[in-house]
Amino acid sequence: MRLHNLKPRPGAKHRTKRLGQGESSGRGKTAGRGGKGQTARSGSSIRIGFEGGQMPLIRRIPKRGFNNAQFTTAYSPVNVGDLNQFEDGARVDETALRSVGLANGPKLGIKILGTGDLTKKLVVVVSAISASAKTKIEAKGGAVEIIAKKSSAPAKK
C-alpha cells in the first residue's frame, strides 16, 4: 500500500449536481437560487436571524429573569460498580480515576453515584458522593473523604 494507491471506498464520493445545464436537468435557468434578489446574487450570504432590517425575533422578545446555569458546578459522574477495577485497599482520587479513563472532560470535580455493586475495600477521595454510594463503600469497610470544591472566582479581600 502506497500513497498513490489510496482511493476512497466505493460509494463514498458522489458526483456533484451540475447547475445551469438546461431546464430539463432540474437545476437549469436560475440554478436552484430561486428568482431575483439578494440571495440570487453571487457572493451573497445573510447571517442567521437576519430579517431584512426588521427587528429580529430574538431582540423583540423580552428578556426576564435570572439564569443560574453558568454558576452551577458540573461533576463528572462515576458509578460505584466501576470502582471494582482498582486493587483492594487502594486510594481512589481524581487523578486515579482520570488515568483509568473513568472521568474525562474539563469538569470541576467528580461525583460517585450509587449504581452497581462494590466488591472491594477502597478509600475514595472525591468532590461529591451520593448517599447510596457512600453506604455501599462504607459497608465494605472503605472510607469516603470529600474534598473542598475548587472555586473558579478569586477570593474576596
Query: How many folded domains does the chain comprise?
Result: 1
In a domain, 6, yes or no: no
Task: State how far Cα 83 lies from the chain centre.
Answer: 23
Q: What is the pLDDT along the chain (157 residues), one digit of tens a residue?
A: 899 999 999 999 999 989 999 999 889 999 989 999 988 999 988 999 999 999 999 999 998 888 888 888 889 999 999 999 999 999 999 999 999 999 988 878 899 999 999 999 999 999 999 999 999 999 999 999 999 865 555 556 6
In a domain, 50, yes or no: no
What is the extent of the structural domain holding 116? 75-146
In a domain, 122, yes or no: yes
Q: How do strand 143-146 and strand 128-129 relate by DSSP bridges?
A: unpaired
Backbone angles phi, psi at 92, to 5 degrees: -105, 110
The CATH number for 111's domain is 3.100.10.10
Alpha-carbon gap, residue 74 to 80, rounded angstroms: 19
In a domain, 58, yes or no: no
In a domain, 39, yes or no: no
CA angle 38, 44, 50 (to 5 degrees): 70
Per DSSP, what are the bridge partners of residue 78?
112
